[in-house]
A and B are shown apart, each in its own frame.
Chain A
Amino acid sequence: MTIAPTVPPGQSERTDGARSGRLGALLRLRELPVTLALIALVVITTIANPLFLSPQGMKDLLLNATIVMILAVGQALVIITRNVDLSVGSILGLVAFGTGTLFANVPGIPIVVVFVVGMLLGAFLGAINGILVTVAKVPALVITLGTLYIYRGINNSWAGGTQYFAGDRPEAFGSLSVDTVFGFPLITLIAVVVIAIVAIYLNGVRAGRDLYAIGSDPDAALLFGIPVSRRVLLAFLFNGVLAGLAGVLYASRFNSVGATTGTGLELSVVAAAVVGGVAISGGSGSVVGAAIGALLLTTITSALTAVRVDKFWQQAIVGMLILSAVIIDRIASVRTARKLRISEARDV
C-alpha cells in the first residue's frame, strides 16, 4: 500500500518530481471515483426528477447523511491504522439514550453540556476499545465485536422498554436538525466543521500522518520510533468521541431513542468508508473520502425514491457499489505498484 495517492496534488508533485503533473495527481486521488459517482448520481436524478435538488430535497439529503458521515470519518481514522471498530453503532445507541435521559431527568440542562457529556461518554467507550486492542494485543475485529455486544447489552438493560421522544427534549435542541443556514441544516454544518478539523489533523499534523505509517506497516512504524500503541489508542478514542457526537445529533434528528437505537449501523459505516476509498487493509484513504462515501450511500436511497425505482433494489445497489469500490481500489493499487516499479527501475 502506498500513501502517495492520498497526499494533495501540490505535495505529490514535489515527491514524484517532474514525472507526474497536476492532472495525473488529481486522477490518482482516491476520492475521485466516489466523487464522480456522487456527481453523476445527483445529475442523473435531477434530470429525471427536478424536485430532487429543491431546497427541501437538499435538506433531507444532508440530514439523512450527517450522522453516517460523522461515523464514517471516525471509522476512517481507525481503518487507516489497519484496525476496525464494529462497536460504533452500540456507542451511538448508548450516547443517544444517555442524551434522552439527561434531557428528561435534568430539566434546563444547557445543550452544550449535553454535547460535552455525550462526547466524553463516547471517548470513554472508545478508549476501552483502544486499551483492549493495544494493551492486550488482540485484533480489533474481535475486541470491538465483543464490545459491540457488551455496549448494546448495557444499553438494553439501562433502557429496558423506556423510550424518550422528541417532546422530552428542549425545542432548541430539536431545531438543530430543523433550522438551516443558507440551506444547510445546522447539524450538517457541525459535521462539516468536524470533518474539516479531522482532515487537517490527518494531513498536516505529525500524529495524524503517523496513522498512515502505522497502517502501512506497523512493524516498520515501530522501528521508525512512532509510538504505535499510543497512536492507535488515540484513533479509537477519537472515533469514540465522533460516535458520541453522532449519538447526540441522532437524539436531535430522530423522534425517539431507546434500547435498539443504532443497531446494525456498524457495517454500513465500514461500507461508507470503503466506498469512500479507505482501504480496509490500512494505510490509505482520507476522511473526506469516507464522508463523501457516506453521502453517496445515503443519496442513493433518496435518488432511487426520487426516480421511482422499486425501493427494494436499494440495498442490492449499495452492495454492488461496495464491491465496485473494492475493485477500483485494487486496480488503483496495482497501477501505483507498477508505476513505482518502473520509476525505481529508472532510478537504478
Chain B
Amino acid sequence: MSNHTKQSPAPAGPDRITALDTRLISTDKTLASVPKGRTGAARVLLGRDAIMIYALIVFVLYASIAIPRFATPVTVGFLLLDVIPVLLIAMPMTLVIITGEIDLSVASIAGLTSALMGVLWAAGLPIEVVLVVCVVAGVAAGAFNGFLIAVVGLPSLAVTIGTLALYRGLALVVIGDNAIANFPPELTAFFTSKLGGTGIPTMMIPVAVVALFFGVLLHLTPFGRGLYALGFSTEAATFVGIRVARAKFWLYVGTGTVSALAGIFWTLRYSSARSDNATGLELTVIAAVLLGGVSIFGGKGSIPGVIAGVLLIGTINFSLRLERISDVVLIIVTGTLLIASVVTPNVYAAIKAWRQSRRLHNTLPQVPASGATNATASGVPERK
C-alpha cells in the first residue's frame, strides 16, 4: 500500500466497508472528502460517552472482584448517598456548560437553602411549607443569576463568583453559627432509607426523575438541541431563531432549583442545617461534568456521559476508601482523572495528525513540498 499512488476518485456508496479499503481511500482522496468522524452504530458505541460507561462498568467489575467488601448492599447504599448531591447538580450544570457558560454559585445556593430550612423549621413552620419556601428560594437565587447573565449580559464566571460569596453570605446572615438538627425523624429516616434489600437509597427515584427530565430536555427537545447550537456560536444560534437570553435565563433558574433540592437532601441526609453545608461542592460538580465529556467551551457533551462520569469518580473514591486510603488524599484521583480526560483526546489528535502527515509524505512522494505542507495543515483537526 505504501507505493500505491494512483489517484482514483473515491467509490461512492456503501461498498467501502473493509478497513483496508477505507485506508486506501483516505490516502487517495483529498482530505476534505474524508467523512468527518464516525457514523451510525460505531458513533454511539465508540463515542466519548460510551467510553465513559465502559470505564465505569470495567471499574465496577474490577472493584467487585478485587475489593472484598465492595459488592454489598451497604457499600452501594453509602456510595449512592454520597454521590446524590453531585449527581443532582451535575444535571442542570451539564446544560449550562454546554451553552458555554458556568455556574459557580450552586453550592452556595444549596447552603442557603439548608440554612433557610433550619431557621424556618426552628420557627415552627410545618415542614411542607418549609420545603416549598426552600425551593422557591432556589428558584429566586437562580433567577437572579440568570437575570445578570442573560439579561444584563455580564460574564457568567464573574457573576457567579460574586453570587457564590453573596448566597453563602446570606446563609450566614440567616442562620449564623447555629446548627439545627431536630428535623422530623421519620423524614430524615426516609431520606436515608433503602429500597428493600438492594441497598439502593429510596432517594435515587427522585434523582432518576431529575436526570431523566434533563436528559429528555437536552437530547429530545428543540430547546435542548438549540443549547448545542448556542454553545457553538451565540450569533449563529440567534440567527436560526433560538432565543438566547431566554434559554440562558431558564438554565440558571434550573441550576438554582436543583441546587435547592440538593441542599434539602444534604440537610435531611445529615439531619443538620448549617451555613457551611456543601461548601466547595461547585468544583466537585464541575470536575465531574467535565470528566463526563462536556467541553468547557460549550457545544459538546451529554447526560449519559455525565452520569457515568459522576458515578466513576464516586466509585473510584469509595473503593479506595474501602482500601483504607485516606479521603483527603483521594482528591488526587479526581484531579488526575479530570486532567487526563481533557488532555488525552488532544494528545491523541496530535499523534493522529502527525501520523497522517507522515503517511502522506510516504504515499505521495511526487507531490511538491508546499502541497504536502498544506495537506498536513488541513489534516490537523480544528479546535474550537
Q: In B169-204, which residues have CB < 8 Å from any A CB?
A: 169-170, 172-173, 176
A84 to B336, CA, bound (A): 19
Whether B296 and A322, one on each chain, are in contact in the complex, defined by CB atoms closer than 8 angstroms, is no
Q: In B128-174, which residues have CB < 8 Å from any A CB?
A: 148, 152-155, 157-159, 161-170, 172-173
A31 to B290, CA, bound (A): 35
Whether B152 and A330, one on each chain, are in contact in the complex, defined by CB atoms closer than 8 angstroms, is yes
Of A148, A150, A264, which one neighbours B279 at CB under 8 angstroms?
A264
Q: In B215-262, which residues have CB < 8 Å from any A CB?
A: none
- Which residues of chain A come closer than 8 Å to B7, judged between CB atoms? none
Is A141 on the interface with B (CB-CB < 8 A)? yes
Instruction: State the Cβ distance, B102 to closest chain A Cβ, in Å.
Output: 8
Interface string of B102-118 (1 = CB under 8 A from A): 10100000000000000
Of A143, A315, A317, A330, which one neighbours B153 at CB under 8 angstroms?
A330
Whether B287 and A146, one on each chain, are in contact in the complex, defined by CB atoms closer than 8 angstroms, is yes
- Which residues of chain B come closer than 8 Å to A268, judged between CB atoms? 165
Mark the stretch among A153-161, A189-197, A204-212 that contacts chain B.
A153-161
The residue on A at minimum CB distance from B177 is A312
Is A18 on the interface with B (CB-CB < 8 A)? no
Number of A-B pairs whose CB atoms are under 8 Å?
153
- Which residues of chain B come closer than 8 Å to A145, judged between CB atoms? 283, 286-287, 290, 335, 338
Known: A156-B326, A156-B328. A326 touches B165 (CB 8 A): no
Whether A271 and B165, one on each chain, are in contact in the complex, defined by CB atoms closer than 8 angstroms, is yes
The residue on A at minimum CB distance from B144 is A323
Known: A154-B332, A270-B161. A313 touches B169 (CB 8 A): yes
Interface string of A308-327 (1 = CB under 8 A from B): 00101111111111110111
Whether A146 and B162, one on each chain, are in contact in the complex, defined by CB atoms closer than 8 angstroms, is no
Count of A residues near B, CB < 8 Å? Answer: 50
Is A137 on the interface with B (CB-CB < 8 A)? yes
Instruction: State the Cβ distance, B132 to closest chain A Cβ, in Å.
Output: 24
The residue on A at minimum CB distance from B176 is A312
Interface string of A110-141 (1 = CB under 8 A from B): 00000000000000000000001000111101
Whether B331 and A323, one on each chain, are in contact in the complex, defined by CB atoms closer than 8 angstroms, is no
Instruction: State the Cβ distance, B338 to closest chain A Cβ, in Å.
Output: 4
Instruction: State the Cβ distance, B187 to closest chain A Cβ, in Å.
Output: 28
A136 to B152, CA, bound (A): 34
Subset of 6 A-B contacts with CB under 8 Å: A142-B342, A145-B286, A149-B331, A153-B331, A319-B163, A319-B165
Please report A residues at the B interface, Cβ cutoff 8 Å.
Answer: 84, 86, 132, 136-139, 141-143, 145-154, 156-157, 160, 259, 263-264, 267-268, 270-271, 274, 280-281, 310, 312-323, 325-327, 330
